[in-house]
């Protein structure tokens, strides 16, 4: 029997579809709460920049918020650009499913996305992911790509 999933954490490059998938999933799961990394940065992590060290602090905060949500009997749907092995392990221990979103033809998106123009400390440009195993969702640039997330097989419904 599969373990009960207590939450989901989507991560992927800026513009990969994390917010879109989070909003779609929230409509499917009762008592879910979105913990969007951009919103956490805007409201809570004003003290942080975009260095790798600050990104690690940021994902620790997102994890902490997610734990508070779980302890309140709700289902967190977290998202962030960056994720590391340490947080992935903590997610597994707390039955939070981690899903990486990869976008097809992302080089085209990068050329037009403001995040990738003339900036430093950008994940996918000069900060890279550590190797660890996760579920992967492929964004093929069609609005139906969310349907590829098999909610029943992943024990979310």
Per-residue pLDDT of the chain (157 residues; tens, 9 = 90+): 567 899 999 999 888 889 989 998 999 899 999 999 999 999 999 999 988 899 999 999 999 999 999 999 999 999 999 999 999 999 999 999 999 988 775 555 555 555 545 566 566 556 666 677 787 777 766 666 666 666 665 666 5
Predicted local distance difference test score (pLDDT) of residue 4: 85
- Between 85-93 and 52-71, two packed helices, what is the crossing angle to 10 degrees? 10
Predicted local distance difference test score (pLDDT) of residue 139: 73
Cα dist from 54 to 78, 127, 155, whole Å: 18, 12, 33
Cα dist from 58 to 6, 27, 78, 154, whole Å: 21, 26, 12, 26
pTM for the full predicted model? 0.82
Q: Which residue has the tokens 């004003």?
A: 46
CB 81 within 8 A of CB 38: no
Best CA proximity match to 137, nearest among 1, 7, 3, 25: 25
Predicted local distance difference test score (pLDDT) of residue 134: 80
**Planar angle of CA 103, 125, 132, nearest 5 degrees:** 65
The CA-based dihedral angle spanning residues 131, 136, 142, 146, taken in that order and rounded to the nearest 10 degrees: -140
Active site residue ranges: 80
Which region, left, alpha or beta, applies to residue 58 given φ > 0 means left and ψ of -120 to 50 means alpha?
Answer: alpha
Q: How far apart are CA 83 and CA 9, in angstroms?
A: 9
Predicted local distance difference test score (pLDDT) of residue 103: 76
> In order of start, what are the domains of the chain with their CATH numbers?
7-148 (3.40.50.300)
């Amino acid at each position: 029997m599969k373990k009960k999933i207590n939450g989901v954490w989507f991560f992927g490059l800026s513009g990969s579809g994390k917010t879109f998938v989070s909003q779609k999933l929230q409509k499917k799961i009762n008592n879910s709460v979105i913990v969007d990394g951009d919103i956490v940065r805007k409201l809570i992590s004003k003290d942080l920049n975009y260095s790798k060290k600050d990104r690690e602090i940021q994902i620790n905060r997102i994890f902490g918020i997610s734990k508070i949500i779980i302890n309140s009997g709700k289902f967190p749907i977290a998202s962030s650009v960056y994720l590391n092995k340490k947080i992935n392990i903590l997610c597994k221990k707390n039955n939070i499913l981690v899903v990486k979103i990869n976008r097809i033809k992302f080089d085209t998106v990068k050329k037009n996305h403001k995040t990738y123009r003339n900036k430093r400390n950008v994940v996918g440009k000069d900060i890279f992911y550590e190797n660890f195993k996760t579920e992967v969702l492929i964004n093929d640039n069609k609005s139906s790509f969310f349907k590829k997330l098999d909610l029943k097989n992943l024990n979310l419904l």
